[in-house]
Amino acid sequence: MGRTLYDKLWDSHVIRSYDDGSALLYVDRHLLHEVSTPQSFIAIEKKGRSVRRPDANLAVPDHVVSTTNRHLPIADPLARAQTQRLVENVARHKIPFIPLDDQRQGIVHVIGPEQGFTLPGITLACGDSHTSTHGAFGCLAFGIGASECGIVMATQAIRQQRTKTMRVNLVGLQSPFINAKDIALAFIARIGANGAAGHAVEYAGPVVAKMSMAERMTLCNMSIEAGARVGLIAPDDQTFDYLRGRPMAPKGEMFEHALTYWRTLPSDADAQFHRELTLDVSDVEPHVTWGTSPEDAAPIGARVPSPEDLTEATRRERRRRALAYMDLKPGDPLEAIAIDVVFIGSCTNSRIEDLRAAAAVVAGRHVAAHVKAIVVPGSGLVREQAEREGLAQTFLDAGFEWREPGCSMCVGMNGDRLEPGQRCASTSNRNFEGRQGVGGRTHLMSPAMAAAAAVTGRLTDVRKLMGGKP
């Protein structure tokens, strides 16, 4: 029987197998940021251990850093201390580091691929749940806890439980203004926030084959919101073209040797998955969330659903709580929901392709008078390219704030947060209660949809705004 991509990645990294189905896996690469690692360094140093392979690590500050006034010290004392602690820890252990004032600085899940640190066939760990993003390159990438970060640094290995596999086949025709974010939200709405729990999800099919690497990263990033820990896409020529020439990717003859191996990674034709689903993207419309879980998503033309539509008491009560928190009533048209803030950014949608999509919508238009809109590029290199292409000026002319790179309002740890009661159109990945600030209300959507909301002041079908077919 053939093997899946997940099987090949797992099998090639097993150091030791255990009777409970778990295994000790070798970890090829480890990404660090300032929030998940302070305790990790303390733990290994207390035991007199050092970092086993400093060169297999890459560190960057991103979660708590300010996206404005970078020339000034970080205002928040805790954030300032966390960032400084990372500087000191990586220097002491000689770990490669991208400092805050470096043009390459950015969100850890943006700079990894951008620098060629993320490669097909490897295992990659990071103290962040959305590490699944890197699976878009055909690598086994997963988030770990702070204590596990210390274990990886000290041993270059980690014990993990093997999961089941799920293949999601994307077929049909991807219509204009339908982004990978729309597809991801439609998928999560279909199977639920725990629908892929216990599975590694591999996305396949003709739609995936045509997607840019940015869209593939968006799909894998959102896999976590369906309950999976791992999202995967088999590497292909588009993957290889993206990586060729990246600073940390193999060069010359080594790159050609790597290609030979990388081409063996896709799932075999006779590979068996534990589950298979097919999603026809021809039927997918622009999606937005209305509740407090990514599974609470619907086409923009829909109405807020009623709790009474559900037969299960637990789900009915969860929906009631969600609508109360979001201050929405059953039957409200989604397109009638006014917003206060627009956030374009996060590890889900802050790459140059995302900014191009948003800029195309706001060009020649202006942000609604009552709306605060910000754009936070995923890295300094994305920011530089957007300025070179004129995208930054397009946003500024439209009334957006143009920020420095960082996680920003996605996680609300850094000064970029919603006030209680504010409603945000966001390109991030989570709409949990308080995720973007205590009492803040988040509606997830694609960059184009967020841009449309910014200029109309409400949730809006971008296709209508752009003269397309609603």
Q: How far apart are CA 141 and CA 436, in angstroms?
A: 25
Residue 449, amino acid: M
> What is 5-275's CATH superfamily?
Aconitase, domain 3 (3.30.499.10)
- CATH for 289-465 (3.30.499.10, 3.30.1330.30, 3.40.50.300, 3.40.309.10): 3.30.499.10
Which residues touch 313 (CB under 8 Å, ≥6 apart)? none
Q: Which helix or strand (DSSP H or E) is residue 175 part of? A: none
Q: Is the pLDDT of residue 470 over 50?
A: no
Tens of pLDDT, residue by residue over 165-222, are: 999 999 999 999 999 999 999 999 999 999 999 999 999 999 999 999 999 999 999 9
Indicate if the pLDDT at residue 457 is higher than 80: yes
- The per-residue pLDDT for 151 is 97
Q: What are phi and psi of 354, to 5 degrees?
A: -65, -40
Give the separation between CA 41 and CA 407, rounded to whole angstroms. 23
Cα 169 from Cα 92, distance rounded (Å): 46
Q: Is 119:249 a contact under the CB 8 Å cutoff? A: yes
Rounded Cα gap, residues 89 and 104, in angstroms? 20
Provide the residue ranges of all domains of the chain, joining segments of one domain with +: 5-275, 289-465
Please tell me if the domain spanning 5-275 has the same topology as the one spanning 289-465: yes
CA distance 218 to 125: 18
The Cα 81–Cα 64 span in angstroms is 10
pLDDT in tens, 411-445: 988 989 999 999 999 999 999 999 999 999 999 99
- Both tokens of 371, joined, read 């709306």
Burial 366-381 (b: 16+ CB within 10 A, else e): ebbeebbbbbbbbbbb
Instruction: Evaluate if residue 8 carries a pLDDT over 70.
Output: yes
Enter the DSSP assignment of 338: B
